[in-house]
Amino acid sequence: MGLEKEYAIETINLCKKYGNLVAVDNLNLQVEKGTVYGLLGPNGAGKTTTILMLLGLTEPTSGQAIIAGYDSSRNPLQVKSLVGYMPDNVGFYEELTGEENLLYTAELNGLPRSLANKRIAQALERVGLKAAGGRKVSEYSRGMRQRLGIADVLVKDPQIIIMDEPTLGIDPKGIHELLALITSLAKEDGRTILISSHLLHQIQKICDQVGIFVQGKLIASGTLKQLESQLLPSDCLEIELKTSPSDENLLALCRAFPGIRELKWENDLLVLTCDRDLRQDFVPALTANGYCPIHLSLRGTSLDSIYLRYFRKEEA
């Protein structure tokens, strides 16, 4: 029996090396039951290697990958019975229909025909392919194939679903529909979803928590708000300020305010170098002196900044 764990997915000091290359470096990851977790990082960050270790398909060099209390290396069969996996390039038999492909999956998982037919019908309806189930997969669009991939996972009725780049190559409408479907799998069914992706702007919208994974290391993990605070630089911060009015008295006010080290103009923005995030304290001082803040933003720590730093080149 597996031990009861607080987390559906957990890694403890997980490492994977290929010779001198460190693909996954001391990864400590926790995914709570019934949540959507986004493991987000550029291509080559080590996301797929992490998934393969979670599934028990490759041995870690050191550390542990744990699924619902089971060690993935020691108990791969138990893990496979609990997890549904959708790879980045879902493979189906092109000349078989959607229903026939799902039936093949059901037979591989040892489902009786009556139960298989019931689950296949439910899965196709759930993913919006009820009318297309009798068509050959060769006629399916990329978006339809991805939804069939989710149906394929649902036939197994797993507690945990792991998806690798599920939105890759899909048009905006298809992405919106797929993300809504993924959300419902967690919120309505209570399943745990782990999504690996390099498309931060798409995936972050549906995640309860996000981990930023770069060069084999998890550099930050948590809710979007926690993520931004974790990525704050430790030494000093820059705050952009624009007010109405904007005059010499504003400069004097800024210079006298505790925690502001330096200030400079960049076009019409006043950039304040501070030793902490003092926005909440500074707003009352501004308004009390007759200044209306039009723009007050912490520079370099938003998810947009993360996107520009790590993801934009890969997404392009």
Asked if residue 256 and residue 153 are part of one domain, the reply reads no
Asked if residue 223 and residue 245 are part of one domain, the reply reads no
State yes or no: pLDDT of 314 exceeds 90. no
State yes or no: pLDDT of 1 exceeds 60. no
Does residue 253 lie in a domain region?
A: yes
CB atoms within 10 A of CB 315: 15
CA dihedral 114, 117, 121, 127 (to 10 degrees): 120
pLDDT, position 233: 58
Asked if residue 243 and residue 222 are part of one domain, the reply reads no
Residue 101: band (very low, low, confident or very high) from pLDDT cuts 50, 70, 90: very high
pLDDT, position 229: 67
Does residue 308 lie in a domain region?
A: no
Residue-wise pLDDT tens digits, 15-41: 999 999 999 999 999 999 999 999 999
Does residue 314 lie in a domain region?
A: no
Asked if residue 218 and residue 128 are part of one domain, the reply reads yes
Does residue 77 lie in a domain region?
A: yes
Residue ranges making up the domain that contains 215: 7-230
Question: What is the mean pLDDT of the segment spanning 52-61?
Answer: 96
Does residue 310 lie in a domain region?
A: no
Asked if residue 197 and residue 167 are part of one domain, the reply reads yes
Asked if residue 116 and residue 50 are part of one domain, the reply reads yes
Residue-wise pLDDT tens digits, 223-281: 877 876 676 655 678 899 999 999 989 999 999 999 999 999 988 899 999 888 889 99
Asked if residue 122 and residue 84 are part of one domain, the reply reads yes
Does residue 87 lie in a domain region?
A: yes
State yes or no: pLDDT of 61 exceeds 70. yes
Asked if residue 17 and residue 126 are part of one domain, the reply reads yes
Asked if residue 165 and residue 273 are part of one domain, the reply reads no
Residue 306: band (very low, low, confident or very high) from pLDDT cuts 50, 70, 90: confident
Does residue 255 lie in a domain region?
A: yes
d(CA 123, CA 102): 9
Asked if residue 94 and residue 12 are part of one domain, the reply reads yes
pLDDT, position 200: 85
Residue-wise pLDDT tens digits, 136-191: 999 999 999 999 999 999 999 999 999 999 998 888 998 999 999 999 999 999 99
State yes or no: pLDDT of 300 exceeds 80. no
pLDDT, position 299: 75
Asked if residue 256 and residue 154 are part of one domain, the reply reads no
The overall average pLDDT reported for the chain is 90
Task: Give the total number of structural domains in the chain.
Answer: 2
CATH code, domain with 44? 3.40.50.300
CATH code, domain with 278? 3.30.70.100
Does residue 306 lie in a domain region?
A: no
Asked if residue 194 and residue 295 are part of one domain, the reply reads no
Residue 3: band (very low, low, confident or very high) from pLDDT cuts 50, 70, 90: very low
Tokens representing residue 188 in the block: 């309505």
